[in-house]
Structure 1
Amino acid sequence: KNYIKRYLCTQEAMADIVFLVDGSASIGLSNFQQIRDFLSSLVSNFDIAPNKVRIGLVQFSDTPRTEFYLKTYENKQQILDYIRQLPYKTGGTNTGLGLEFLLKSHFVEEAGSRAKWNVPQISVVITDGNSQDEVEPHAQELRQKGIKLYAIGIKDADEKLLKQIANQPYDQYVYSVSDFTALQEISQNSETISLIADCREITSADIVLLVDSSDSVGDTNFAEIRRFLHTFVDRLEIGGDKVRVGLAQFSHAPYQEFLLDAYRDKANLLKQLENIMYHKGGTNIAKALDFIRESYFSQARKNVPRIAIVITNGNTNDTAEEAAQKLRQQGVVIFVIKTGQADATHLSTVANSPQEEFLFSVDTYQKLDGLVENLRRRVCNAVEDQLRGKQHIFG
């Protein structure tokens, strides 16, 4: 039995949490009552208010059904009253449909989501088993949007399915209990699942942006990259003792645009980003990674988190794994944003692990802007992890 060793604890935190509950026929009425009790005991632990924790609830079987949105209830008692009366749906088990419904109907501003204000987005999925539809692509899409997914499997739930749903590491996000009464042990256990609020502000970091400037990008797409860089940097606290940003480009050779110590104020830095030239040429990522290690991170501040963000369409013949490992050995955490349709397999060896935290993928350059906040939040978490001395697993 793998009980939840920690319970949902967000006393000081802000979070948007949507529960996705299996209401299929295989659950049975008496077990559904256990789910009601479990939800009530979890919700009791939250500090619920419009400016603190918001709760939403979806029940799924053949189809998903909104019980209430994140914006529906403003206090704990209203939520507990609703859960006590929660009607049992019955029917088949289409978990994938439920996950897709979360993304389209619940983690949106109209439903009360505060994602654009950097409030952590969390979903807790409770199910008793196999799904009759495909789960993984929908779960992946939620995770890519920065939504943290916990999976709680009850009775004979398929562990493989739970892992397809949940974030990694699985020991923090996947729980399976052998029967429904054990749910009560989860919620009463004194150690707790802590849904720690994602970090709000990057206090101090040396960030190097490494941009693909090869022929395969094209002028129009390069303009989208410029816009994306501008929006991303605009959300950072730029300053000599805060966040410093350097920029390099690469095609067949790397190009130095400006080093980490070049700009101490945001206005000048943003102006410089607006004017970066598109170079054209082939694509050599390995050479570019070596270049930023030798020319940029050699100037990084001691004991300040080091982050590289690589933006590329991935059309390259070289293997950059060794160059990426050398950067990591210097304590640099590498994020990769893959644009366009190219195969991302070799890029997964460049990005840190787990991939869902460090490798982003957009099929068109126009979608880059939609990544800004999620990237900022993940860089922020990586910075905090480095400051706490926690090493990321390397690819």
Structure 2
Amino acid sequence: SVLPGFRKRNLFLTLPPPGESQCPAYPTELVFGLDMSDDVTPTALERQRSALLHLLEDLSIAESNCPQGARVAVVGYSAYTKYLIRFQDYHRKTALIEAVKNIALEKTGGGTMTGKGLEFMSNEHFVGKAGSRAAQKVPQIAVVITDGKSQDDVESHAKNLRRRGIVLYAIGIKDADASQLREIANDDQHVYKHHPDAMHNCRRSQTTTPATVSRATVADIVFLVDSSTSIGVDNFEEIRQFLRSFILGLDIGPDKIRIGLAQYSDETYQEFLLKDHMDKDSLLAEVDQFPYRTGGTETGKAIDFLQSVYFTQEAGSRASQRVPQFAVVITDGDSTDDVVEPAKRLRDQGVIIFAIGVGDVNQQQLESIVNLPAHHFLYTIDSYQALQRLTDSLLQTVCISVESRSQGETKKTSLQNCLL
């Protein structure tokens, strides 16, 4: 059986790169850990291999015709750890899959030491000397596959990886300990119990690109960006890169997705309306050049500005055609004015409000802005550098919300409905 949240994440973060439609992949680095302890039988190894091959099947590998695809490494762990495949070993998908098929059960002695395997991944793979591109903000993902309970501590090593921004998944084969899988993974949505049919569904849903998600949707999305003095120039550039990544995952067009952007501090600034940019290239060009404004933080005033200026038919809103309307507020501050009534007015108009709070934000204030349930529509992160990791999650949540709105439902539908 599959644990909760099985379909809700995009395991390989395959966002489309700019100008590379023939290469539907975003740079990603994945390290898979295979349990090679003494109690692993040849049959158990085949189960692990089957899970790994299912996940690799739809993955775009970094090779000559797709250099920005995924790099893959595989480690074996028990009381000792060893390299099975390194990032630089294979640059053709066929060769990588053949190598996985040829991995032999080489027991190095000892029991299951998953914590040691996680430490090995952290120290020997997710580092520059091993070819990791973490410094270039390439997403880093670790997938631990195990069929037993670890005899050492896994939680502290998993926390260390997560602190470094590495996303952890855990796949349990047969007798794997479910509570320990949860200690390894980022959350329950990153934990799977292996069954051949389940892994096939996982591969289908988890490797579908957000671009495919977006082709099923029509929506108007307006970003409201806090550009107060507290943000700073460097953090403002992180916001710019986040907007680029998000837009790259969408199908932009006059009859597809439309994007608007406003900035605010203690003043409001019209950057571009929903009607202004109907193709992705011009939209990205505008995102690359809009200025950092500075000032105080008056979020309520800015939300009213969205309602009166952006979500109107004259500005390009298609609300009258029943196209779903979204606002995404990005802020790091505590607003000095009232946000409750402006947000209520905008929601009452039918606009779904998301918020991304960065750093030491006023949680209660942000919860009063977003739609309910708040935990579906409010994201809180420690720093602007963490924005990039939100791209895929926000894309998928928007997709689900669009599907729900278009069907006239208030509940969230399965992401699979949006993918197929």
Q: After superposition, where does 1:1-395 map in structure 2 within 5 Å?
A: 2=1, 18-22=31-35, 29-31=38-40, 33-43=42-52, 45=54, 47=57, 50=61, 56-60=73-77, 65-69=82-86, 72-73=89-90, 74-82=95-103, 84-88=104-108, 90=110, 93=113, 95=115, 98=118, 101=121, 105=125, 123-126=143-146, 128-129=149-150, 131=153, 133-135=155-157, 137-138=159-160, 140-141=162-163, 147=167, 149-152=169-172, 155=175, 157=177, 159=179, 161-166=180-185, 170=188, 173-175=190-192, 186-187=195-196, 192-196=201-205, 197-201=207-211, 202-203=214-215, 204-218=218-232, 220-221=233-234, 224=237, 227-228=240-241, 231-232=244-245, 235=248, 238-252=252-266, 254-264=268-278, 266-267=281-282, 270-271=285-286, 274-276=289-291, 278-281=293-296, 283-293=297-307, 295-299=309-313, 300-301=317-318, 302=321, 304-316=323-335, 330=350, 332=352, 334-336=354-356, 338=358, 341-343=359-361, 345-346=363-364, 349=367, 359=379, 361=381, 363=383, 367=385, 371-372=387-388, 374-389=389-404, 392=412
- Can you list the C-alpha shifts for 1:289-320, whole angstroms capped at 9, x where unaligned? 45435543454324545443333223446785
- Can you list the C-alpha shifts for 1:216-269, whole angstroms capped at 9, x where unaligned? 234x34763675377457746544234322122223454444322233354377
CA contact (8 A) 1:100 1:138 kept: no
Gaps of 5+ in 1: 177-182
Look up the SS of the partner of 1:66 in the other structure: strand
Gaps of 5+ in 2: 13-23, 64-68, 406-410, 414-420
| Structure 2 length-normalised TM | 0.63
The alignment's C-alpha RMSD in Å is 5.1
CA contact (8 A) 1:208 1:309 kept: yes
CA contact (8 A) 1:96 1:134 kept: no
CA contact (8 A) 1:22 1:61 kept: yes
CA contact (8 A) 1:149 1:165 kept: yes
Which amino acid in the other structure matches residue 156 of structure 2? E
Q: How many residues align?
A: 362
Which amino acid in the other structure matches residue 360 of structure 2? A
| Structure 1 length-normalised TM | 0.66
Question: Following TM superposition, by how much is the alpha carbon of 1:280 offset from its aligned partner in structure 2, in angstroms?
Answer: 0.7
In 2, Cα distance between equivalents of 1:229 and 1:191? 31
Look up the SS of the partner of 1:308 in the other structure: strand
Which residue of structure 2 lines up, in the alignment, with residue 179 of structure 1? Answer: none
* Percent of matched pairs sharing the same residue: 21
In 1, Cα distance between equivalents of 2:376 and 2:121? 21
In 1, Cα distance between equivalents of 2:170 and 2:351? 29
- Can you list the C-alpha shifts for 1:320-359, whole angstroms capped at 9, x where unaligned? 5786677667362625152xx4247447736788969963
CA contact (8 A) 2:80 2:109 kept: no
Look up the SS of the partner of 1:382 in the other structure: helix
CA contact (8 A) 1:62 1:91 kept: yes
Look up the SS of the partner of 1:131 in the other structure: coil
Look up the SS of the partner of 2:156 in the other structure: coil
